[in-house]
Amino acid sequence: MPTKMLRIPTPDGQADAFAALPDDDKRHPGVLMYADGFGIRPVVREMARDLAGHGYYVLVPNFFYRHGPAPVVELPEHIGEETRAVVMSRIMPLIEGHTVERTLLDADAYLSCLTAQPEVSAGPVAVTGYCIGGLLAVRTAAAHPGQVAAVAGFHAPVGAAGPDSLRRLTAQAHFGHAETDLTPEALAELNQVLDASGVDYTSEIYPDTVHGFTMADTDAFNPAALQLHWDRLLPLLGSTLADR
């Protein structure tokens, strides 16, 4: 699976990014993938390659580029309970400083870069994300209704986007929540907002999951939930980008 590193011009500098694409000479639909707060690392690159293997050009930007190239924070090979607190203490200030304004400025740059790649076919794209990346995906999709055809977020604080952003969604959506992130009552409230927006969506709590369940380099990893994530994501992309 071909991969490359890119540098994306933004109003605040240049964001480094990882890209994976099918091994052929054809043009393919573009997918903007936002990593979780731990950023671009081997497990995220592998997920991007897996998605590219299904016929997509996948771009994964380092959204903390203002603080340096990835990895912005040094990470252990496995992020377990004994190291998570220390890692999170370094990452949380970066998350808290990543404002909505920065998110939207960067999203413009990321989408411009993605659609300009010669291997990417014309037309709308999809955006997906994990943890904080899922929130960035929602904000990106809400700000680009004519350009983003599908949006997905996994173990993501989707509700933090706010009702106004959720109501602006026009992309077909899927949100897969962790049991520890959302109660059934909170899920019902979130889904009521999505219902009011008129968006075509699915939003569900994945069984037996904790926050971070897709990430194989953490204690939160749940292989069955990762597979369910693919079972939801791939049909979503196929139905919205299939005619490209």
> Of 225, 213, 241, 61, nearest to 151 (Cα)?
241
pTM here is 0.97
E strands, 28-171, in order: 30-34, 57-61, 125-130, 148-154
141-167 pLDDT tens trace = 999 998 999 999 999 999 999 999 999
Q: What are phi and psi of 66, to 5 degrees?
A: -65, -20
Distance CA(152)–CA(168), nearest Å, equals 15
What are the structural domain ranges in the chain? 3-241
Residue 67's identity, in one-letter code, is: H
> Based on the number of CB atoms within 10 Å of its own CB, is 82 exposed (0-12), middle (13-18) or buried (19 or more)?
exposed
173-189 pLDDT tens trace = 999 999 999 999 999 99
Q: Does domain 3-241 have CATH number 3.40.50.1820?
A: yes
**Residues 34, 128: contact at Cβ < 8 Å?**
yes
191-208 pLDDT tens trace = 999 999 899 999 999 999
Q: What is the pLDDT of residue 36?
A: 98
Q: Report the pLDDT averaged over residues 205-218.
A: 98
Instruction: Read off the pLDDT band of 1 (50, 70, 90).
Output: confident
